[in-house]
Amino acid sequence: MTKTILRALAGETLPTPPIWMMRQAGRYLPEYRATRAQAGDFLSLCYNPELAAEVTLQPIRRYGFDAAILFADILLVPQALGADLWFVTGEGPRLSTITGADDLAKLGLVADIDEVLAPIYETVKILSRELPKETTLIGFAGAPWTVATYMIAGRGTKDQGPAHALMREHPEVFDALMARITEATIEYLSRQIDAGAEVVKIFDSWAGSLKGEAFTKYALEPTKQIIAALKARHPNTPIIAFPREAGDGYIGFAKATGADCVALDNSVSAEWAAANVQVDGCVQGNLASSHMVTGGQALVDDTKRIVKAFSNGPHIFNLGHGITPDADPDNVQRMIDAVREG
């Protein structure tokens, strides 16, 4: 029998939606923290295939999710292109910045990224062997706009202001950077599929700060380009797109980009998304991740409401964003039970 997530991605409406959870391998789990300590630091964990596979498998063992998502980070692509990358404890990633043509010229060639990213492909190979036969393996990458915002600012920002400024003031540099990231992302995801990923997801975490024509040019079009290239090479591999906080931009996004599924954040209601987005095919989402912290009857009620809202079409149950480090592992089980009890 075909795996449940692949059935949903093919457009099938299932009596119980398959479940996985963004950032399901992470700091909320004690077993993850133990493995992270063994690795030494976050990047060492990402580049250690055995340990990265282990943390990917941990939530599958604990919860029996219908999919595992590769443990890696969206900023490995800029690092593979030659950007300096490091993580500051408690503050997050830091990168060398792209502020002009000179910085762009220092980046490496897309043809050379596999040398750096080879351990990631090895992790995928391990997982494709070790995952339970019913569990789908998802690969991923950051979308070009989101990756560019980090490369330009050198860190995460609240409003992605530095990237917007470069877009306005030096559009030729900005466009060249976007093109380089887009090309690298195609190669990276294609190699993940070659290694055994059955589905890939494109995370555009900061898509919501693009409005109007900018959303079309820098969120929709690069996603469309990546999907077209991947479909030409891997026509049977489903692709999930996540233009987070796109609002009305979710409408028609699947048709415009060729995505097999659109993941939804929780700033839109499931009822609205069922009427406006699910009409075009599979949707994924969209429980507020705060429920994983607070739990209680509200968690159960909201989970069941979302399942009901999306019950007339293909749906993969997930959070509207990644689970946070302060989440209670017991609440994850409550969510799964609420979905599967119907």
Q: Are 199 and 138 in contact (CB under 8 A)?
A: yes
The length of the chain is: 342
Strand partners, 317: 19, 285
The catalytically annotated residue of 28, 32, 36, 63 is 36
pLDDT (0 to 100) of residue 211: 96
**Is 47 annotated in the active site?**
no
**Is 36 annotated in the active site?**
yes
Q: Which CATH number does the domain housing residue 277 bear?
A: 3.20.20.210
How many domains, the chain?
Answer: 1
Q: What is the pTM of this model?
A: 0.98
Long-range contacts of 329-332 (CB under 8 A, 24+ apart): 329/28, 329/29, 329/30, 329/62, 330/295, 331/291, 331/292, 331/293, 331/294, 331/295, 331/299, 332/21, 332/24, 332/28, 332/63, 332/292
pLDDT in tens, 247-285: 999 999 999 999 999 999 999 999 999 999 999 999 999
Mean pLDDT of 183-209: 98
The catalytically annotated residue of 32, 63, 121, 150 is 150
Mean of pLDDT over the chain: 97
**Is 27 annotated in the active site?**
yes
For 214, the domain range is 4-341
Q: Are 42 and 341 in contact (CB under 8 A)?
A: no
Give residue 1's pLDDT band: very low, low, confident or very high (50, 70, 90): low
In this predicted structure, the answer to whether residue 90 has a pLDDT above a threshold of 90 is: no
Give residue 89's pLDDT band: very low, low, confident or very high (50, 70, 90): confident
In this predicted structure, the answer to whether residue 203 has a pLDDT above a threshold of 90 is: yes
pLDDT in tens, 111-139: 999 999 999 999 999 999 999 999 999 99
The catalytically annotated residue of 33, 73, 305, 328 is 73
Mean pLDDT of 35-59: 97
Mean pLDDT of 295-302: 98
pLDDT (0 to 100) of residue 114: 97
In this predicted structure, the answer to whether residue 342 has a pLDDT above a threshold of 80 is: no
pLDDT (0 to 100) of residue 218: 98
Mean pLDDT of 184-200: 98
